[in-house]
Amino acid sequence: MRANTLSAEKRRKNLLSITLGVICIIYVLPVLTVAINSFKLNTFVKTDTFALPRGEMWAGVSNFVTGMTFGSYPFWKSVLYSVVITVLSTALILLCTSMAAWYIARVDSKFCRVVYYLCVFSMVVPFQMVMYTLSKTADTLKLNTPWTIPIVYLGFGAGLAIFMFVGFVKSIPLEIEEAAAIDGCSPIRTYFSVVLPMLKPTMISVGILEIMWIWNDYLLPYLVLDINEYRTIPIHIQYLKGSYGTVDLGATMALILLSIIPVIVFYLTCQKHIIKGVAAGAVKG
């Protein structure tokens, strides 16, 4: 009887492993397709999409060179603007939302609860519902540059960040902050000296999720920024068009690969912090 139970358990685990393996392959396949086609000549990208680049198909690094030198807009400027927007937006989201979440978690008032539920509700509001009014508002308030668009990202990234930070702050013993207050710490000093170091797991987790979102975002910069002057990497890739609207798919795949490699490496390096941060932020206070 015991042997039958162990055998059934083993079969269940094997079936689960096979199922998860198939799901993993499905998710990885698009990335592999991009990587394969980034080394093919443009003609074969269209006709032999899933074939390995060999023989006459092989384009080497020419696709990468073509993509980075195509048109009059320098690729390095797109990389610079993507980095600036991603770093500034993530830093602003982490600082502002962690402070707001600390206040919401510690001050038990109707106002704080309303603010918290509004932030949570914002996560379910589709971007398409507000994108036209947002574009007009950003132009009016002069938020249409790489140095001011982080304010717009703060509004869209606050919901998830505050939700995770509030859950984690509620798990921190209040006595630690009371001891700091007795020692003469002001609220600002208490936050930076006591609360912020303890928020590190969730801070890293939220930071990773926000970086992945902002780095790959296309629609918001396209609507808000002046694309003739400021182009992020996704916008730069979209403009890889020749005469009569022809697209060099090989060069496009090459630049897509260059854009996703940093995010993949960053995610694989920090994925353990995502799990730890999400688990910590899910604690119910």
Domain of residue 238, CATH code: 1.10.3720.10
205 shares a domain with 232? yes
Please list the residues that pair with 241 across neighbouring strands: 247
81 shares a domain with 48? no
133 shares a domain with 6? no
Domain range enclosing 37: 2-64
111 shares a domain with 51? no
All residue ranges of the chain with pLDDT < 70 are 1-6, 242-245, 273-285
81 shares a domain with 7? no
CA angle in degrees (0–180, nearest 5) for 240-243-244: 105
225 shares a domain with 104? yes
237 shares a domain with 152? yes
* pLDDT attached to residue 278: 59
Do the domain assignments include residue 37?
yes
* pLDDT attached to residue 181: 85
Distance, CA of 149 to CA of 229 (rounded, Å): 14
* pLDDT attached to residue 133: 87
* pLDDT attached to residue 232: 93
* pLDDT attached to residue 59: 84
Residue 210: C-alpha distances to residues 11, 110, 144 (Å): 39, 29, 20
Q: Please choose, from the candidates 212, 110, 197, 196, the residue with its C-alpha nearest in 3D space to the C-alpha of residue 160.
A: 212
256 shares a domain with 144? yes
* pLDDT attached to residue 248: 80
Joined together, the tokens standing for residue 58 give: 């092989």
| Percentage above 90 pLDDT, the chain | 27
130 shares a domain with 25? no
Q: Which 8-state DSSP code applies to residue 192?
A: I
Domain limit, last residue, from 64, 87, 116: 64
114 shares a domain with 132? yes
The answer to whether the CB of 89 falls within 8 A of the CB of 154 is: yes
> Which helix (H) or strand (E) covers residue 204, if one does?
helix 200-216
Do the domain assignments include residue 12?
yes
* Per-residue pLDDT reduced to its tens digit, 247-260: 788 888 999 999 98
Residue type, 96: C
Do the domain assignments include residue 69?
no
120 shares a domain with 29? no
84 shares a domain with 6? no
Distance, CA of 28 to CA of 146 (rounded, Å): 32
* pLDDT attached to residue 285: 43
Do the domain assignments include residue 215?
yes
Phi, psi of 241, deg, nearest 5: -125, 140
Question: Global pTM?
Answer: 0.85
* pLDDT attached to residue 5: 67
Distance, CA of 154 to CA of 208 (rounded, Å): 15
Per the structure, how many domains does the chain have? 2
